[in-house]
Amino acid sequence: MSLRSSLLRASALKPVAALSLAAILLLGPAAISSAAWAETAPAETQVSLDDQTGVAITIYNQDLALVRDQRKIPLTAGLNDLAFIDVSGQMRPETALLRVDGAKVTVREQNFNFDLLTPEKLLEKSVGRKVRVITTNYATGAETTEEATVLSVAGGVVLKIGDRIETASPGRIVFDEVPPNLRARPTLVIDADSDKAGDATAQLSYLTGGLSWAADYVASLSPDEKTLDIDGWVTLTNQSGTTYRDAKLQLVAGDVHRVQQEMMKDMTVATAMPAPAAEQAMSEQSLFEYHLYTLNRPTTIAENQTKQVALLSAASVPVEKEFRFTDLTARGYTYDIGEQERVNATVYVSFVNDDKSHLGLPLPKGTVRVYKADNDGQVQFVGEDAIDHTPKNEDVRLTLGQAFDVTARARQTKYEKISDSVYESAYEIELKNAKKEPVTVVLIEDVPGTWKILSESAKHEEVNSNRLRWEVQVPAEGSAKFSYAVRVRY
């Protein structure tokens, strides 16, 4: 049977929608393919934030987040073209995972459309297409419309209007339609096959950039500097290109080398750790080799927003203050250094992250800023330091600055080269304290090679094989001297 006879017979049985028989005969087999696609291609179903029934976000330390977006979707039996609007503009589409409750849905294809609708993009996508240019006569107010072809937008718009080329638009450019490859919001279009029709609940999970978090701590020293009150905050920054409304927020503390398969699973399956003594705005649990913090209430993270949520609050945490000098004499073990310049002590404040200290919550890395009230009760900033991820029962040690009133000067009192590899030297360190109360000064020296203390005015402590530690009491508004001698073999 000829093609013409076949088509005539087919047209008598079932007309082909939107395509005349004459067009089929004129265009041939290509038209048949187009007609079949017109019949079978599903209309796009837009799934917007208005259809969202829940969203959960897990944010990691390294510009990485896991989004679990739950929305109601209308399904038809067979092919569905689902457009999830307002997904993250920085999503990694290769990580997208769609799960639908109550229906068997097979994803055949997905397209992430992040080319957003702007005047510049509209012109760019209209190259080679017809537009209208409307000019206004400002004297009369009359408008004139001309048809134009967009030739280029590289470095500026180039239009062909009639028999002339314009390198700048003489008026308003009017477009008949939005090009199909432009979207107003980031959109993931999923081509899926469903075994049944009806409303269903779908969860779209994916990894994305553009979401980050950091921990910040604010500490207030007591007047006697024996305790501090500390509040922990989580600073969230959303530059992902969409808003997450009433989200369940979870944060992972720990440096992830790469995304582990475990992290794509439901985070709630991890085993919870005992509740710490500090008042918590977030609960904490272990996750793989990391710690997972869950905000105990939903929160909205708006697009292009930085916000802070409470992490913890602890009062009357016992602290120790330390005045320390490090390596005042370390340069002089193999040669004569004579007398050194006077230097100021470094001030440290330390506490233990345990239940006894009213803490006991694994602390994410961040910046601790310390304040203290002056004699008039006005709060003053006294220093800040960064802490690393700190497990429970570990020490936290903050470097706050240099002590104005506690100083030291080192002097080498003996130097002798015993052989090519053996040296003996002695030192005297003068410590001064201009404060109205006595202080304990810590001296740290890193001694190279194989060493032996020959004499010392205070007993040393071996921190490790090459580090020695001494404590020296210095009276109020007074001074003290410390001396030691050492033999070093290289």
Delimit the domains of the chain by residue range.
Answer: 3-40, 119-174, 320-353+394-489
Q: Which pLDDT score is estimated for 269?
A: 33
Are 267 and 250 a contacting pair, CB within 8 Å?
A: yes
CA–CA dist 313, 400 (Å, integer): 21
Q: Which pLDDT score is estimated for 41?
A: 57
Instruction: Copy the structure tokens of residue 393.
Output: 């029962």
- Cα distances (Å, whole numbers) of residue 171 to 131, 148, 153: 12, 11, 16
Beta strands 44-47 and 78-85 are parallel
Q: Which pLDDT score is estimated for 349?
A: 97
CA–CA dist 68, 63 (Å, integer): 17
Q: Which pLDDT score is estimated for 37?
A: 42
Q: How far, rounded to the nearest angstrom, does the alpha carbon of residue 462 sit from its chain's CA centroid?
A: 41
Per-residue pLDDT tens over the stretch 361-378: 899 999 999 999 999 999
- Cα distances (Å, whole numbers) of residue 331 to 277, 417, 434, 445: 46, 15, 27, 10
Kindly provide the b/e burial profile for residues 60-93, where b requires at least 16 CB atoms within 10 angstroms of the residue's own CB.
Answer: bbeebbbbbbbbebebeeeebbbbbbbbbbbbee
Q: Which pLDDT score is estimated for 1?
A: 44
- At the topology level, CATH places domain 320-353+394-489 in Immunoglobulin-like (2.60.40)
Assign 247 to helix, strand or coil.
strand
Say which DSSP state 367 is in: E
Instruction: Copy the structure tokens of residue 350.
Output: 């330390």
pLDDT along the chain (490 residues), means of 10: 41 39 41 44 87 96 92 96 95 94 93 82 87 90 92 91 90 85 87 95 96 95 96 95 96 67 39 41 82 92 94 95 93 83 96 94 93 94 95 95 97 93 95 97 94 96 95 97 95
Q: Which pLDDT score is estimated for 126?
A: 86
The identity of residue 259, as a single letter, is: V
CA–CA dist 329, 13 (Å, integer): 103
Say which DSSP state 356 is in: G
Alpha helices by DSSP H, listed for 125-263, are: none
Could you count the other beta carbons within 10 Å of the beta carbon of residue 351? Answer: 21
Q: Which pLDDT score is estimated for 385?
A: 97
Beta strand ranges found along 23-142 (DSSP E):
44-47, 52-59, 65-75, 78-85, 97-101, 105-113, 130-136
Beta partners for residue 346, in sequence order: 324, 402
CA–CA dist 367, 232 (Å, integer): 10
Q: Is the dihedral of CA 447, 452, 458, 462 positive or negative?
A: positive
